[in-house]
Amino acid sequence: MKKNKIKLESVGEKITAKEASWAFNGKIPKTFDEHVRHSVPFYEEGHDLVCKLSDFFCKKQFYLL
């Protein structure tokens, strides 16, 4: 019976992860935005659009205080 080898994949600048294994801990939260900006086309534009849309749809009168 063959043992399954776990393969390390490069997921970005000096970041590696085991195949099918990823966790949002350690140093990852501190560098996440920088990594995503390099990895996801139009990340900044999408983020800005979501913020503008949420400001439009989330009016103060809808908040439960």
Contact call for residues 16 and 9 (beta carbons, < 8 A): yes
Beta strands in 1-65, from DSSP E residues, in sequence order: 8-12, 15-18
CB-side neighbour CA atoms (13 Å) of 18: 6
pLDDT tens-digit map of 2-61: 555 666 666 566 676 677 666 777 777 888 888 888 888 999 999 899 999 988 888 766
**Helix, strand or coil, per DSSP, at residue 17:** strand
Domain boundaries, the chain: 26-57
- Residue 64 binned pLDDT confidence (cut-offs 50, 70, 90): low
- Cα angle at 21 between 16 and 22, to 5 degrees? 70
